[in-house]
Chain A
Amino acid sequence: METTAKKRVLLVDDEPTITRTVKLYLEGTGAFEVRTENQGKQAIPAAREFRPQVIVLDIVMPDADGGTIAADIKADPDLKDTPILFLTALVSQSEVGAHRGKIGGHPFLAKPVDMDKLVDTLNALAGGH
C-alpha cells in the first residue's frame, strides 16, 4: 500500500470507544494517521506535539467544551490555521443543513457519523495542507 503523505488527524472525544473505533476505521483506510485524546483539556498540548492537519472535536465533553477549545486553537499562533471539524451528539443532521454545516465558522457532523462521509470531509479539510 502506498504510504506517502498520510493525513494526520487529531481526534478529541471523551468517549474512548468512539476514539478507538474511529481511529481503527480511519487508519484502516490507509490514508490517515490518527492520534486520539479523551480529555478536552489535553487537546491543545496534543495538537502542539502532533501537528495534525485536521482536528476533530467533540462539542460536549465533561472537562471542556469543544467550542472553547476551538476558540483557543484559533487563538494559538501555531495552530490557528489547522482546520477544525466538530462532531456532536446534540444536534441532528437536519440542523447541520440549516446551519450549512457550520458552527462558529467550523464545519460539523452529527453523530452517528457515516464513516465514508467523515473520510470525505477530512480529505476536503486536509486537502490544502
Chain B
Amino acid sequence: MQPIPSQVMRTLPARALALSAAALAVPILGIVFFSESLDRYSVLLWTLALVPAFLLAYYRSWPWVSLALAAGMALLIAGYLVAIVRGFEAPDWPFLVFVVSAYIAIALGAGWIGELRESAAARQTTRQELERAYEALQRSHAELQAAQLQLIQAEKLESVGRLAAGVAHEVKNPLMTLLAGIQYLQKQGLATNADVEGLLVDMSTAVKRADFVIRELLNFSSPHPLDMKANDLNDVVERTLGLVKHEVDRVRITVVRELGEGLPPVTFDAYRIQQVFLNLIMNAAQAMDGSGTLTVRTRLTSASALGTAAGNRATGAVMSNLDAVLIEVDDTGPGIPADKLPKIYDPFFTTKPTGQGTGLGLSVALQIVEMHGGKLSIVNRAEGGVRATVLLRLQPEQDTHGDDREETRPAR
C-alpha cells in the first residue's frame, strides 16, 4: 500500500471528521436500536477508542496509522452491520471482537513503529543538518573574529608606521643636542661635585633610553629587507650573551649554555636574529630579577616542527631530515599569567614598569622570526618559568615573506 502523502492528509480534515462521525453514529444507532447484551457495549467501546486515535494519527500526519485505524473502524462497522442484519444472532461476538482487535493492534503497532523509525530518521537528519550548520556558523564566526583581529592589528601597525618616521626625526634631533651637551659637560669636567656628576650620568642614560624606544619603534614599523648570510648560530648566541652581560650581572642570575656541537651554518640576517635573542634573553633576565637560572639551548631539529605552513617537505622524515635549528631560552621566573599570554605579541603590551619596556620587544622578535619563515613560541614551563623557542630553517625558502605568516603565528 502506498503511504498517503501527508499533504493530502492535512488537506482533508472535514472528511476525516465526517468519517469519524459516521464511524461513531453507526454503532451508536445499532446499540440504541438493537441492544440486547453487554457485548454490544464492549464493541462500541472499541470503536469509540479508535476515533480519537484515528484523529490523532490523522492530524499528526501518520498515514500508516491512520489507514490502519480507518480499516479497523470499517471492519467494526461492517461487523455491526452484519450483526444488525442478523438481528444480533451472530454466533461469536467475542471472537469477532478479538479478531478485529488483534488485526487493529498489529496494524497499529506496525504502523506506529514505522512512523517512529521514520520520524527518528528524520530527526537524526535534521539534527545532523543543524549540527553542520552550527559548525559552519562557528567556523565563520571564528574566521570573522580572526579577520577582525588581523584588521585591528594591521591598522595598529600602519598607524605606528606612519607615526614612527615622523616621531623619530622630531625626537632624535633634540636627543642629539641633549647628548652632545651632556657629554660636553662631562668631558670638560664641569661637573663640580658628585651630585652634578650623577645627574649628568642619569641624563645621559635617560637620553639613551629615549633613543632606544625610538629605535625599537623604527625597527618595528619599517622592516627592511633581510641581509641573509650563512652564520654560526652559536657564535651569534655568544655575541648576544656578551651584549647582555652587564644586565645579567646586574640582576645576579646564572647563565647556563647548552649549545649544540657541530651545528651546520644557518642562513639568516645576523643582526636581526641577534635582536630577537637580545629581546628574549633580556625578557628572561628581567623576569627573574634577583636570582634564577637562564638557560640558552641550541640544537639541530626538523623543520616539520614548523608545522604544515612550513611546507610538507619535512613530513615523513623523522630524524634523517634535520633541516632546522632550535634555540630555546628558559628562565626560572614567575611565568606569564594565563590572561596575559594571548597579548604578549601585541605592540605596546608590556608588564614591565613604565620606562623599563616599550612593549615592542616581542612584537619585533615575532616579526623578525616570521620574516625568516621561522616560528617563535613562548610558553610557561610546567616546572615554572617561561620557555621561548625560536625555530629557523638552515636554508629558508626563497620567499620568506610568504602568505603563511599568519599561520606560523602561535595562537593568540
Footprint of B on A, CB under 8 Å? 15, 17-18, 20-22, 24-25, 28-29, 60, 87, 89-95, 97-98, 110-116
Contacts and interface: CB of A to CB of B under 8 A. Distances in A.
Given A17-B174, A90-B168, A113-B176, A28 B184 contact: yes
Interface in B242-290: 269, 271, 275
Contact of A112 (B172, B188, B219): B172
A25 B211 CA distance: 20
Which secondary structure dominates chain B's binding surface? helix
Contact of B180 (A18, A29, A93, A94): A18
B340 interface: no
B175 interface: yes
Interface string B174-188: 111111110110011
B215 A22 contact: no
B271 A98 contact: yes
Given A90-B165, A94-B271, A98-B227, A112 B184 contact: no
A15 B173 contact: yes
Interface string B148-179: 00000000000000000100110111111111
A22 B177 CA distance: 8
The size class of the interface chain B forms with chain A is: 20 to 34
Interface of B: 165, 168-169, 171-181, 183-184, 187-188, 207-208, 211, 214-215, 218-219, 224, 227, 269, 271, 275
Contacts of B275: 94
A21 B169 contact: no
B169 A89 contact: yes
B208 to A, nearest CB: 8
Given A97-B271, A98-B224, A92 B218 contact: yes
Listed from nearest, the 3 A-B pairs whose CB atoms lie closest are A89-B172, A21-B180, A112-B175
Contacts of B175: 111-112
Q: Which of A22, A92, A93 has most chain B Cβ within 10 Å?
A: A92
Contacts of B178: 112
Nearest to B190: A28
30 contacts: A15-B173, A17-B177, A18-B176, A20-B177, A21-B180, A21-B181, A25-B187, A29-B187, A89-B169, A90-B165, A90-B168, A92-B168, A92-B214, A92-B215, A92-B218, A94-B215, A94-B271, A97-B271, A98-B227, A98-B269, A111-B173, A111-B176, A112-B175, A112-B178, A112-B180, A112-B208, A113-B180, A114-B179, A115-B179, A115-B183
